[in-house]
Structure formats: C-alpha cells, structure tokens
Amino acid sequence: MKHPPPPPRRCGVVVAVVALVLLACLQIQYHHLKVDLGKAGFASGTQDNRIHSGTSRKPAPATTNSLSLPRGIVERHSDMYLRPLWDDSATATHKSKKDDHNALLAMAVGISQIKNVDIMTRKFLKENYAVMLFHYDGNVDGWRHLEWSDKAIHILAHNQTKWWFAKRFLHPDVMAIYDFIFLWDEDLGVENFNPRRYLDIMVSEGLEITQPALDPDLSTDIHHRITIRNKMTKVHRRIYDNRPSMNCSDESKGPPCTGWVEGMAPVFSRAAWKCVWHLIQNDLIHGWGLDMKLGYCAQGDRSEKVGVIDSEYVVHQGIPSLGGPSLSSKTPRRSLDLRTHIRRQSSAELERFKERWNRAVREDEGWRDPFES
C-alpha cells in the first residue's frame, strides 16, 4: 500500500508567513489602543480650571500639552509687537529701560472716526505703548496714509463690536506681556489725558480696574454719576446720592455706588484682564451687563480696587457709528431701524447675561460670593 507523499516544504513557509502577518496585525492593534488611551488621558488632564478669586475650592493642577518638550524651549506667551523680516537685532527690545509700564490700547474703529482715532493713537504710541485697531466697517486701506499705520495691528471683521474682537484676539496668554489693557471706544476726546500719568496713578493707588473720568461740560453722553469728573480729587471710588433710586452712602458696597466703571473706556491690569476675558460671553457681543460684574475681577475688595481717575479725564462724544449714523430728523428710516434693532439686541443680551450669571451661581456649589453681606 502506497502512503501519500509528504507535504511540500513550501507549505511550512506559507504557515510561517501567515503567523508573521497575524503578529504584525496584533502589534498594530496594540499601538492604536495605546494611542487612543493616551488621547483620553490627555483630554481628561487638560480640562479648563476654574477662574476663581480665592473664595471657592482650589482646582486640581492641570497637565499641559508641552510636557513632551524640553522645558527650556517652551514659550508660554506671545505679544503684539511687529517683527521685521531682517535685522531683528535692531528691534530686539520694544520697551525702553526707563518705561515703567507696558500697555496696549485696543479699539473698534470705523473710517468716519479717523481724525479722533488718530489723535488718540498718537498719544499712546508716543509713550511706546502698543495699539490694536479692530475695523468693523471693512475699511483698512483708508488708514494707510497715517504715518503710524504700519506700527499698529489692524484686524478686520464686518459689523463686530469691541467685545467680540476682544474675546477672539485678546486672549490672556497673548496679553500677558502687557501690564495694562485699554479697551476703549473710538469717540473719546483725549486733550486732557496722558496715558503714562494715568497708569502712574493707577499703580500708586493700587487700582486694578479703572476708567478716566468724563468731563461734564463737554461730554454729550453721560449715563452714570460715578463717571463724572470730580475736580477736587485725583481719584474717586464711590459717589454719594440720597435719592431713593440710588441711596449711595459710605455703607454702599457695590455698583452703581462703588466698585464700578462703565464699558466705554475701561482699563484693566494684567491680572484683572485674565478674569474679565473669561467673564466675556462668546456670543453676547454688545457686552451689556458686564460692567455690573467687573468688580468680581478686581483681585480684592472692589470698593478699593476699582476707581475713576479724575486728574486724567476724557470727553465722551457719544457718536454711535457702529451700525449706522446717529438718530436725527434727517436720518434715513433704514439707519434708524438699524439702531433700533441694535438696541433691542443689546437689551436681549443683557437679560441673557443676567440669566447665565444667576444659573451659574445656583449650579456652582463651591463658589461663594465675596461681596455677599
């Protein structure tokens, strides 16, 4: 009886190849599993920490996505200084040794206010402060003829407010190089204002959030008494008003009697801005309601850390250029309707901001109101 011939040697080779392929597949699957687990761990370890003022539970330290880099190469911050394409050593430093402060002026501007913005910008550039212009009307080329135009940062987005721009382009990590942030409207007269003297006062008085006082004789749009200039003082932090609707006295602990500035011309310290940036709501672009809560970012007692500086004051011209011309008998109906819609939107955003604040206070059991009596 004949036995079947032994299997060819090549069969053993095929088996070995199949085994190697299976092993390779298992190794690839294992590698993918490791990557997926690493991503999950990274995501859980880099959640945003609570922005707090020392009144809530201390957040756990977060890991950073720079751990894979050697410590000496990590650049944590940026700035808004323009860098030349050559001979960088000539501008290696942008701050004079005699400068006490490093500051940024940021404004939302339109071409109709170019003359006033020109005056404002020159005052800040003279002190070697940075300037960033947010163009809401789409016209950037109209500013090119100004001698300082190339020294400023120009950002364009149609029909957006300064709060929209600030949330997207003034992140605290980028602003960390600056000691102070001026987030101003474009319609301020600065004939009696010097930014360097202003910051000197802010520092000497221990203020974190301020605004220049408004000239009551020349300003056309004053909404709150606390913003009016007091000719007898250098700084004021509160007002006194016996009217039932106000009832402001030494016993008052918060807005609108003390610890408050208006949204037209606020100035923030670096620490205050880090908090304020998180307070700005991404979708509420008109900023209504923010002024009543800025004191929570004052790095302490808002009745002491928030103030109006009287000796360096401005004129509020009250020109509503964003969204159309101001209301008048000659204003076309379409422009009037635009202003009406903007005001309605602002009022609606104010209510939404209040609702979010109240909901956040209810839901955050670890937060305690530092100003609650």
Query: 77-129: per-residue pLDDT in tens?
Result: 888 878 888 876 655 455 555 567 899 999 999 999 999 999 999 999 999 99
Round to whole Å and give the CA distance between 336 and 339. 5
Q: What is the CATH number of the domain that holds 283?
A: 3.90.550
Can you tell me which residue has the tokens 């600056």? 178
In tens, the pLDDT along 6-25 reads: 555 555 665 566 666 666 66
Q: Is residue 73 part of a domain?
A: no
Residue 198 lies in a domain: yes
Judged against a pLDDT cut of 80, whether residue 184 lies above it is answered with: yes
pLDDT, residue 74, reads: 85
pLDDT at 282 over 90: yes
Both structure tokens of 56:
């809530």
Who has greater pLDDT, 72 or 40? 72
Which residue intervals of the chain are DSSP H helices?
Answer: 9-45, 114-126, 162-169, 172-175, 195-204, 270-279, 302-305, 333-363
Q: Considering the domain boundaries, does residue 334 fall inside one?
A: no
Mean pLDDT of the 173-182 span: 95
pTM for the predicted model, two decimal places: 0.78
Residue 26 lies in a domain: no
Residue 7 inside a domain? The answer is: no
Q: How many CA atoms lie within 13 A of 229 on its CB side?
A: 19
Tell me whether residue 111 is in a domain.
Answer: yes
Tell me which of 245 and 20 has the higher pLDDT: 245
| Residue 332 maps to a domain | no
Compute the average pLDDT of residues 193-219: 97
Where does the pLDDT of residue 49 fall: very low under 50, low under 70, confident under 90, or very high at 90 and above?
Answer: very low
Q: Give the residue-averaged pLDDT of 57-80.
A: 71
Confidence of residue 258 (pLDDT cuts 50, 70, 90): very high
**Cα(205)–Cα(199) distance, integer angstroms:** 10
| Nearest alpha-carbon partner for 308 in 320, 291, 296 | 291
Tens digits of per-residue pLDDT, 323-365?
A: 554 434 455 555 557 878 888 999 999 999 999 999 999 999 9
**Does residue 30 sit within a domain?**
no
- The average confidence (pLDDT) of the chain is 84
The per-residue pLDDT for 67 is 76
- Please count the structural domains in the chain: 1
pLDDT, tens digit, for every residue of 135-163? 999 999 999 999 999 999 999 999 999 99
User: In which domain, by residue range, is 191 found?
Assistant: 103-322
